[in-house]
Amino acid sequence: MLRRYSVHILLILAGGVLTYLAYEELVSLYILSVLMFMGVNVILSASLNLVNGYMGEFSCGHAGFMCVGAYVSSVLGVFLFAKDKVFGAPLLDPSLALYAFPFIILAGGVAAAVAGLLVAIPSYKTRGDYLAIITIAANYIIISIIQNLGIIGGSRGFMGMKSVISSMEDVVDLPWMPIWVFIFTVFTVWVLRRYVSSTFGKGVSAICQDEVAAEIMSVNTNKIKTISFMVSSGLAGVGGGLFAYVIGYVNPGSFNILKSTEVLVMVYLGGMGSLSGSVLSAVLFTVLLEALRPLQIIKWIVIPLLLVILMQFRPEGIMGNKELGDVFPWLKKFYKFK
Amino acid sequence: MLANILQNLINALQWGSFYALIALGYTLVYGVLTLINFAHGDVFMVGAYIAFFVATFLLTTIGLPGWAALALTIPLTMILTSVVGVTLERVAYRPLRRKGANRLYVVITALMCGLILEHANLAILGASRKAFPPLIQETVYNVGGVVFTNLKLGVIFTAILTFLFLHWVVTKTRVGMAMRAISYDKFAVPLMGIPLDHIIVVTFVLGSGFAGLAGLLFAMSYPVLEPYMGALIGWKAFIAAVVGGIGDIRGAFLGGFLLGAVEILVVAVFPSSYRDLFAFSVLLIILVFKPTGLFGIAKTTKI
Amino acid sequence: MTVQPASQTDTAAVLEINGLTQRFGGLTAVHDFNVQLLPGELAGLIGPNGAGKTTVFNLVSGFYQPSEGEIRIGGMPTAGLKPHKVTALGVSRTFQNIRLWNDMSVLDNIRVAQHGTLGYGFFHAIARSRTYLDCEARIEREARELLKIFDLDDYADELPKNLPYGLQRKVEIVRALSEKPKLLLLDEPAAGLNSVDIQELIRLVRWIHDTFDVTIWMIEHHMDVMMELCERIKVIDFGETIAEGTPELIRNHPAVITAYLGDDKI
C-alpha cells in the first residue's frame, strides 16, 4: 500500500519541504528563483518533447506559445486583481486572487493551445521540415503582434504581476509562487505521462514511427497531431504564465528564437521520447545556465557546442527513448513509468 | 504615381536581392543534402565582417584607393566566406553524414553552429557595432522623380548576374548536373562514380561564397555591422527560399524578390514595426495554399 | 474476436470497384479497373512489377483519391474518405514492406490498431476514468486473446524488430485482423519469406479464410502461393486488366504468359 503511493507521498513531502524552506527564508531568494526556473524549464522541456520527441516532429517556436500564455495570464491577472496604469483599479476583489490564480494560469494555457491549433492546421499538408518553418514564423509573428500592441506595453513590456502575488500572500501568508510552480510542474508531468501511456496516446508514437501505417490502422492522424500540438503549446503557455509571474515583468523579446532554442537543447539533451529525460535535462540545464552566469559571454558558445558534441557522439541524449524505470528497474516497483 | 510605383519597385528589387543571394545558398544545400543549413544566415554575417576587415585592411594599411579595394575585396570576401562554409561542412556536417545520422541531428547541429558563430563574434569582437568604410563614391540619380543610387543598381545587377551564372552552372556544367542528380537520388550517385563529397564541397563553396558577396553588398548599403545581423535575415531568406520552392534556384530568387517586395510594400503603407509581422504572415499563407512552394515539385510518398 | 462462418444471408458485394482509373501526372497507373468481391471469397491480383497492383490497394485503402471511378465497401462509397475512415468501413491491410511499429511491443501494435474504436478520448485518458479503465481492459483482453489464437502470446512484449521476419509478417497480418475487417488486403505477404515460412503463410491464410468471416484479396508474386490459395485471380499489366479467372485458366492464359515472359516473336 505504501509502495503504491510512494511517489505521491514523496511529492507531497517535497512540496512541503520547499514551502517550509521558502517561508522560513532558509534558502536565499536567488536559490528559490533558480528552483522556480527549473520548474518552468521542466514544463517547457516536457511539453516540447511531446511534439519533437514522441511525435518526431521538428517544432522550433515553442517560446512563441510561452509568450501567448505569459501575456494572457499577466494581463488577465493584473486587469482583474491589481491596480495599474493601464487598466486602473482591479475589477475584482484582490483577496480573490489566490483562488483565481490557477485559473488565470490555465487561461494562459488555453490561449496558447488555441495558438497551437492555428499553427498546426497549415502543417497537415506539408512535409516534416515545414513544421520548422511554420513554427519559426509563428514565433516571430507572435512576438511581432505583441510588440505592436502598445496598450499592453508593446516592446517596453508589461508589469504589475508582483501586486497580484502580494494579494495572494495577504490572504494566506505562504510563499505562493514556489508553491504554484511546483504544483503546475507536477501537473504537467502528470498530464503528459497519462497521455502517452494510454493506448490513445500511443497513437502519437505510432505516427512517429510510421504515419502511413497509423493512418491506415484507424488512427485519425490529423486529430492526434492537433491534440498533441495543442497540449504541447498549452502547457508551454502555462510555463510562460508562471515565468511571467516569477519575474514580475514580461516583454516580448524574452520569447524569441533564442528562448525556443534553449527549449530545443533541453529536449534533445534529455532524449526524444523520454519524459524522465526531459525532466532530468531541464534540471541539469538550469543548473548549467546558472553556473555559466559569470561567464555570460561564452554561455551561448558552450551550450550550442555541448549540443553539437552530443549530436556527434550521443544523439539520443541522456535517456534516449527510455524512462528512468528502464535504466533503474528497481524503481519500477514504486512507479509504473510506461 | 508611376514614379511612386517605380521607386518602390527599385527598392523592392534591391532589398530583395539580399534575400535572393542568401536564399540561393539555402536552396543549393537543401537541394543536394536535404539539409536546412540553419547556420547560413550567420555565414552571411561572417561574410559581412570578413568584408569589413579586408576592406579596412586594404584601405588603411595598404592604402589602396576605394575602387581598387572594392575590386580586391569582392573575390577575397567570397573566397574567405566559402572557406568558413566549407569548414562547417567538413567539421560539423560531414562526420554525421558519414555515420548515416538522422537528418534531424544534422539540422540541430546546423542551428547550433549558427549560434556559435554569432556568440563567438560577440565574445571576440565585443558588442560594439562596426562601421563599414565607404569604398565607392555613391552617386544619386533622379530620373523622373525616381531616386536611386549606383550602389542600389549595383546590388540588383549583381543579383541578376549571380542568378544567370548559377543557372548556367546548374543546367550546363557537369558539376551542376551532378548536383541535380544528388538531389534526386543520393545513393545512386557515388555508385555512378561521381565523388559525392567533392560535389557537396562545391555546393557549399557556391552557397557560402555568394552569401559572403551578399554580406559585402549589405555592409556597403547599410554600413553598420552587428553580430545578430544574420539571424533575422537568415530566417526570412530561408522561408523565402521555401516559398519559392526549395531545391530550385529560380525558386530562391523568386522567393527572395517576393519577400523584398512584400516588405517594401508593407513599410510604404504601414508603420515599420509591422514589417516582420506581414512578411512572415504572407509567407505562411502562401505555404498553406502551395505547400511545395511556388516552383516546387510535389514529391509523393510511395507506400 | 469471435469466429463466425461466412454468413449465407449477406450476398451483397464486400468490395465493388467500377471504372477505376488513376493518373499520376502523365502516367496512367490504373485504367478502367473493375472488380466485385463477394463475402468469403479468397481472390488474387497478380501482374508484373509496376503493373499497378499496389496502386489499386492504395486506392481501396483511401490513401489516394481516384482520378475516375468508384469504390464501394459493403455498399458504402469511399470517395473523399481519409484512410482511417475507410478502415472503419471494414477494410484492413498489410503492406509490401512490413509496416509494424518497431519501437512498440507486439501487444501495443495490436492495441494501437484499435484506435478507431477505443471508446474514450483525451480527457478520459488523463482522468483515468471508469470509462477509460473499462475500455483499456477490454482492448487488452481482446488483443491478448487474438494473440493467443495465433500462438503469438509469448511474443506479446517483444519488439517486432527483434522477431524473425516470418513472425513479423504474421504479426502484421494479425494486427490487420484485429480491426475485425470485412475485407482483408494482403500486399505481397510472401515477399522476403523463405520456403518454410511460405508454407506456414499458406497454412495461415487458409486457416484465416476458413475460420473468420472475412473476404481476402491478395497481391502476390509467388505463383505457388496464389495457385494454392486463390479461388479467382485477376491479372493486370500496365494498369490494364488482361485476364481473369480460376488459377488453372490463368496459368495457361496466353496474355498472362506474354506479360510475364514476353512472347516468342523477336
Q: Which chain B residue has its CA at the smallest distance from C57's CA?
A: B303
pLDDT at A293: 85
With contacts defined as CB-CB under 8 Å, which chain C residues touch A109?
Answer: none
Output phi, psi for B270, to 5 deg: -105, 165
% pLDDT > 90, chain A: 47
Query: What are the two backbone dihedrals, phi and then psi, of residue B192, each rounded to the nearest 5 degrees?
Result: -90, 10
> How large is the average pLDDT for residues B147-166?
88
Which residue on chain C is closest to B297 by alpha carbon?
C25
Return the pLDDT at C5: 45
pLDDT, tens digit (0-9, with 9 covering 90-100), for A24-68: 877 888 888 999 999 999 999 999 999 999 998 889 899 999 999
Q: Which of residues 57-86 of A touch C (CB under 8 A)?
A: none
CA-based torsion, B147, B149, B152, B156: positive or negative: positive
Per-residue pLDDT at C2: 45
Q: Does A144 touch chain B (CB under 8 A)?
A: yes
C227–chain A Cβ distance below 8 A for any pair = no
Q: Give the span between the Cα atoms of B225 and A171, in whole angstroms.
A: 53
Greater model confidence, A233 or A314: A233
SS3 B118: helix
Helices A176-197 and A97-120: crossing angle in degrees, nearest 10, is 40
Q: Which of A200, A210, A214 sits opposite C118 (nearest CB)?
A: A200
Contact across the interface for B115 and A304, Cβ inside 8 Å? yes
Q: What is the pLDDT of residue C85?
A: 93
Partner B contacted by A301 (CB < 8 A): yes
Residue A63 touches partner B, C-beta closer than 8 Å = no
Give the long-range contacts of residues B100-105, CB within 8 A, separation 24 or more. B101/A311, B101/A315, B102/A315, B103/B34, B103/B35, B104/A58, B105/A311, B105/A315
C217 close contact with B: CB closer than 8 A: no
pLDDT at B188 over 90: no
Strand, coil or helix: what is C132?
A: helix
Lowest mean pLDDT among A246-250, B64-68, C21-25, C132-136: B64-68
Sign of the alpha-carbon dihedral angle for C132, C138, C142, C143: positive
Q: Please provide the average confidence, as pLDDT, over all residues in chain C.
A: 89
- Which of B297, B302, B303 to substitute to test the interface with C, most C CBs within 10 Å? B303
Distance from CA of B2 to the nearest CA of A (A): 31
Residue C179: count of CB within 10 angstroms of its CB: 24
Q: Which residue of C has its CA nearest to B300?
A: C24
**Facing C121 at nearest CB: one of A200, A209, A219:** A200
Do B274 and A134 make contact, defined as CB atoms within 8 angstroms? no
Confidence of residue B299 (pLDDT cuts 50, 70, 90): low
d(CA A176, CA A18): 11
Q: How many residues does chain B have?
A: 303
For residue range A209-267, list pLDDT tens digits in order: 999 999 999 999 999 999 999 999 999 999 999 999 999 999 999 998 889 988 998 99
Interface of C with B in 81-120 (CB under 8 A): 95, 99
Residues of chain A found within 8 Å of residue B110, distances taken between Cβ atoms = none
Beta bridge pairs of residue C68: C21
Q: What is the pLDDT of residue A45?
A: 96
Rounded to the nearest 5 percent, the helix, strand and coil shares of chain A are 80, 0, 20
- Say how far apart CA B85 and CA B79 lie, in whole Å: 10
Handedness of CA A145, B259, B215, B27 (dihedral sign): positive
Determine which of A140, A207, A296, A305 to mutate to test the interface with B (most B C-beta atoms within 10 Å).
A140
CB pairs under 8 A between A and B: 109
pLDDT greater at residue B123 or residue B182? B123
- CA–CA distances in Å: residue C31 to residues B85, C34, C51, C124, C242: 51, 9, 11, 47, 11
Closest Cα to residue A62, out of A110, A7, A134?
Answer: A134
Q: Does B116 sit within 8 Å of A137, measured CB to CB?
A: no
CA angle B92, B97, B101 (to 5 degrees): 100
Per-residue pLDDT of B229-247, as tens digits, reads 888 888 888 888 888 887 7
Chain A within 8 Å of C93 (Cβ-Cβ)?
yes
pLDDT of residue C4: 43
Print burial letters for A143-165: b (CB count within 10 Å at least 16), e (below 16): bbbbbbeeebbeeeebbbbebbb
Q: Which residue is closest to C126 within chain A, CA to CA?
A: A194
**Rama region for C2: left / alpha / beta (φ>0; ψ in -120 to 50; rest):** beta
Q: What is the pLDDT of residue C1?
A: 45
Look at A76-85, A134-143, A294-303, B133-142 and tell me which has the smallest mean pLDDT. Answer: B133-142
What pLDDT does residue C6 have? 43
Separation of alpha carbons C28 and C22, rounded Å:
6
Q: What is the pLDDT of residue C87?
A: 93
Please give the grid coordinates belonging to residue B92.
560539423
pLDDT tens-digit profile of C104-159?
Answer: 999 999 999 999 999 898 999 999 999 999 999 999 999 999 999 999 989 999 99
Q: What is the mean pLDDT of residues C68-80?
A: 91
Q: Residue B66 above 80 pLDDT? A: no
Q: In this complex, which chains have at least 3 CB pairs below 8 Å with chain B? A: A, C
User: Using CB atoms, which residue from B95, B116, B288 is nearest to A305?
Assistant: B116
Q: Does A200 touch chain C (CB under 8 A)?
A: yes
C-beta of residue A127 within 8 angstroms of C-beta of residue B293? no
pTM, to two decimals: 0.89
Stretch A282-298: mean pLDDT: 87
Which residue from B223, B214, B197, B198 is spatially nearest to B135, judged by alpha carbons? B223
Mean pLDDT, chain A, whole residue set: 88
Say what the pLDDT of residue A52 is: 93
Does residue C266 surpass a pLDDT of 70? no
User: pLDDT tens, C218-258?
Assistant: 999 888 888 889 999 999 988 888 889 898 888 888 888 88
Nearest to A216 among C61, C104, C114 (CB): C61
How far CA B130 is from CA of B225, B229, C164, in Å, comes to 5, 12, 64
Rounded to a whole number of angstroms, the distance from the CA of B52 to the nearest CA of chain A is 23
**Least confident stretch, A287-296, B127-136, C2-11, C148-157:** C2-11
Contact B108 A311 (CB under 8 A): yes
Which residues touch A129 (CB under 8 Å, ≥6 apart)? A58, B36, B107
Whether residue B272 contacts residue B23, with contact meaning beta carbons closer than 8 Å, is answered with no
pLDDT of residue B208: 93
Rounded to whole angstroms, the Cα distance separating C14 from A216 reads 18
- Cα distance between residue A253 and residue A328, in whole Å: 41
Where are the alpha helices (H) located in B89-195, listed in sequence order?
A: 94-98, 103-125, 150-172, 174-184, 188-191
pLDDT at C9 (0 to 100): 43
Q: What's residue A338's pLDDT?
A: 59
Closest-CA distance of chain C to residue A107, Å: 17
Determine the Cα–Cα distance for residues A259 and A255; give it in Å rounded to an integer: 6
Q: CA nearest B97 in A: which residue?
A: A312
The C-alpha atoms of residue B211 and residue B217 are separated, in whole angstroms, by 10
Q: Could you give the residue ranges of the DSSP H alpha helices within A50-122?
A: 62-81, 97-120
A310 with A302: CB under 8 angstroms?
no
Higher pLDDT, A328 or B9: B9
Confidence bin at B189 (pLDDT 50/70/90): confident
CB contact under 8 A, A58 and B291: no
Task: Give the 3-state secondary structure of residue A315.
Answer: coil
Write down the residue that cell numbers 549595383 correspond to.
Answer: B154
* Contact state of B36 with A132 under an 8 Å Cβ cutoff: yes
Where are the strands (E) in chain B, listed by range?
130-131, 140-143, 146-149, 224-225
Q: What is the pLDDT of residues C166-206, one digit of tens each?
A: 999 999 999 999 999 999 999 999 998 999 999 999 999 99
Contact B300 C95 (CB under 8 A): no
Whether A199 and C136 lie within 8 Å, measured CB to CB:
yes
Q: Do B303 and C24 touch (CB under 8 A)?
A: no
ipTM: 0.88
The rounded distance, in Å, linking the Cα atoms of C195 and A158 is 73
In the predicted model, is pLDDT for residue B58 greater than 90? Answer: no
What percentage of chain C's residues is helix, strand, coil (to nearest 5)?
40, 20, 35
**Angstrom distance (rounded) from CA C79 to CA B142:** 62
Smallest CA–CA separation between A133 and chain B, in Å?
7
Contacts of B222 (CB under 8 A, 6+ apart): none
Number of cross-chain residue pairs from B and C with Cβ atoms under 8 Å apart: 6
Task: Mutate one of B263, B280, B290, B303 to test the A interface: name it (highest A CB count within 10 A).
Answer: B280
Which of the four pLDDT bands, split at 50, 70 and 90, describes residue A193?
A: very high
What DSSP string describes C164-209? -HHHHHHHHHHHHHTT--SEEEEESTTTT--HHHHHHHHHHHHHHH
